[in-house]
Structure 1
């Protein structure tokens, strides 16, 4: 039976995506996965450049991206049960000295050990609210650990269990490319630091939380702000009150979907491709721009399509389709609702009658919600099991290892943002924290 002829949903009694992938590879499941290599331990790929199994072939990792050193043999060969026991024992020894944060998109075997589970914004807040902890173990990706370091105390150690856990979207806007874009916009609009007669700046830079600390620092230095998927509209309103136009990066889809919902015409949202002169635009297009969108995207959310939504509606009359705003515009337009991961969770939790939900976001969260709310039918729009390749680099083996290292008095994989970057980045983050929807 082909993948396309399978029913769109198979109710997962087990929230573990890893268990499902192992079953697929063993031939015990008719479901398909985007990469059978996902069944292997991530240490099989950590020494190689790349985002790991399941990533898009078009996502080219930057030269010099962090790589993880070799994980000691015991952590690579230990069973799931052995690792679970080791993690619990280490956490018991460490007590309040350590706090473990787990992103919604983490594999279930990691999330069960997290003291707090949330999106990148919520977890940054959790890091900030635990000044008593000596170490913050951030089970997420690199830009999230950087943000936790920016918002935590200087003497707290923020640890990323696997240094190879990066983010292809964040890497799509490098500091060199953004600064070059800024220089070109200055040639067109004049001095970008000088407001006009109405007190408005020519351009206000806005970066999505899913960006490097260097990009956040750039935004802070240039009068801009950070946004999340939950407060993007509020942030754009803040920016429009201060500037003629916005440079939004790195995710074009969140920027386009949010600005469109605010009434900004599509023809006033040119796309800036950093590999082309003037971003691939002419001066007239840029002169009339209201939002300049960076040519970036999330490879996970780009997998969702209108055809998947059409199929869900055909097979499940009355289905409620909710997608993340990182999805392409046509997918957001075809869905019933679009919102952040927290919005999706809240919407499902608030449903009082048994409901069928088709969800367009990362599979680990979707399967966890399906197990958490068995009164509903909840399934992922994409029938192919394909988790976020970089989130998946955080394996219980790495979590057990870093906790054991902390027990031994060592601090591995510490993420520290240099002060010259950290100070302006905090300015941009504080503006974000004040921009509540």
Structure 2
């Protein structure tokens, strides 16, 4: 790519300054106008962790895979403006038809967890692990991973997993091979394996930066190899947070996401996917008390939606997901205006070969869970 094209591409990614000076009401009215103008040609999926200023315009809200699947089913939509992060928009592009275009309002909206496992590190790790264990490993990847990692897993007979079906998928994988490599979140992998009866001594951690296996036990006893990655939000919930809640609110139940550390999950009253947490709070008795260990935008929304219950964040100093929060009202409006002006920006496109292998990984999961 020429220097001129590089400069042009970078300038296209930068939101014009005038959007930063617009009044919120003005922006909201403009988004409403564009939605009405485009009608069914436009579909806006919004992840649960999005800001209220964005989620108010979502045609549907949910978890990443759910949103990608709903987008694929919406055959009338030509433009899918995905209010989430990069890997989610990639999954939507993989599952939607060639007649549909997927956009991300801000290309800087990434996922620190997904970025902790790139394809070069993974291929290097796979070679090393094959030399250590031979053909005894099946790769699994959390859907919170790049298209390239999903494709790697699909190419090597593995599957994707979600936080809702991880138990089913890990059990399935261990029937296929003696061991699994779980990417990219070590905490979800560890919590899931422990829940189905695998001892911590039978788990090892692969450090992609040092390119080495970290294990306190014997190699032959290892059943689960955990990629050394984590969610920057969920890893910030601590044992001390739980101790504080137990002391200050003895009647309060603690529910956390399984992306939290093992010791946090083990001390909580319950744990589960984002959908599980939402449904649990929704179905809880009026007057019940809850400390929730997940992303702050969602916790605040649950507080507003269930005023008959006492709900707080497990960590009172928790911040929203910083990368998810790059999607704001300004960027959403900018993206939509570029669409109606005929020069769409921030399109997410996954090449055919990568998409093909990634679909294999996704379909193996969908057939089982």
TM beyond 0.5: yes
Q: Secondary structure at the match of 1:113?
A: coil
CA shift for structure 1 position 310: 1.5
Query: Structure 1 residues 265, 356: CA separation in 2 closer, same or farther (over 3 Å shift)?
Result: same
Q: Residue 397 of structure 1 aligns with which residue?
A: 330
CA RMSD in angstroms, aligned pairs only? 1.4
Aligned with residue 406 of structure 1, among 339, 347, 369: 339
* In structure 2, distance between residues paired with 1:309 and 1:90: 46
- Residue 136 of structure 1 is matched in structure 2 by 80
How far apart, in 2, do the equivalents of 1:176 and 1:377 lie? 46
Residue of structure 2 equivalent to 1:388? 321
- 2:247 aligned residue: 314
Which one has a larger percent helix, Structure 1 or Structure 2?
2
Q: Deviations over 1:129-165 (max 9, x none)?
A: 1011001110000000000001111121000000000
Q: 1:201-212 to 2 correspondence within 5 Å? A: 202-212=136-146
Structure 2 residue aligned with 1:366: 299
Aligned counterparts, 1:145-156, within 5 A: 145-156=89-100
In the TM superposition, residue 275 of structure 1 has moved relative to its aligned partner by 2.3
Taking the TM superposition and a 5 Å limit, the aligned residue runs for 1:314-353 are 314-353=247-286
Matches within 5 A, 1:20-419: 69-190=13-134, 192=135, 202-281=136-215, 285-419=218-352
Do the aligned residues in 2 keep the contact of 1:68 with 1:164 (CA within 8 Å)? no
1:16-53 Cα deviation digits (max 9, x unpaired): xxxxxxxxxxxxxxxxxxxxxxxxxxxxxxxxxxxxxx
CA distance in 2: counterparts of 1:323 and 1:280, whole angstroms? 27
Q: Deviations over 1:166-214 (max 9, x none)?
A: 1111011110111111111221233x3xxxxxxxxx1110000110000
Deviation of residue 67 (structure 1)?
9.6
Give, in angstroms, the shift of residue 285 of structure 1. Answer: 3.5
Distance apart, 1:281 and its partner CA: 4.6
1:351 deviates by 1.1
1:385 is displaced (CA, Å) by: 4.1
Counterpart in the other structure of 2:356 = 423
**DSSP-derived class of the 2:140 partner:** strand
Instruction: Give the TM-score, by structure 2 length.
Output: 0.95
Distance 1:280 1:385 in 2: 30
| Kept in 1: contact 2:141–2:150 (CA 8 A) | yes
Distance across 2 between alignment mates of 1:431 and 1:415? 24
Residues 279-314 of structure 1 deviation map (CA, whole Å, 9 limit, x = unaligned): 3458x7333211000000011001101111121122
CA distance in 1, matches of 2:211, 2:307: 52
Aligned 8 A contact 2:293 2:315 in 1:
yes
TM norm structure 1: 0.80
Residues 375 and 276 of structure 1, relative CA distance in 2, 3 Å threshold: same
Residues 93 and 382 of structure 1: is their aligned pair in 2 closer, same or farther, counting only changes over 3 Å?
A: same
Quick one: distance in 2 between partners of 1:150 and 1:123? 12
Are 1:252 and 1:297, in contact at CA under 8 Å, matched by a contact in 2?
yes
Which consecutive aligned stretches of 4+ in structure 1 deviate over 4 angstroms post-superposition?
none
The 8 Å contact of residues 13 and 346 in structure 2, kept in 1 or not, is answered as: no
Per-residue CA deviations over 1:103-147 (Å, capped at 9, x if unaligned) read: 001111000000011111211121111011001110000000000
Question: Secondary structure at the residue paired with 1:366?
Answer: helix
Tell me, yes or no, if the aligned pair for 1:302 and 1:327 is still in contact at 8 Å. yes
Gaps of 5+ in 1: 1-65, 193-201
Name the SS of the counterpart of 1:226 in structure 2. Answer: strand
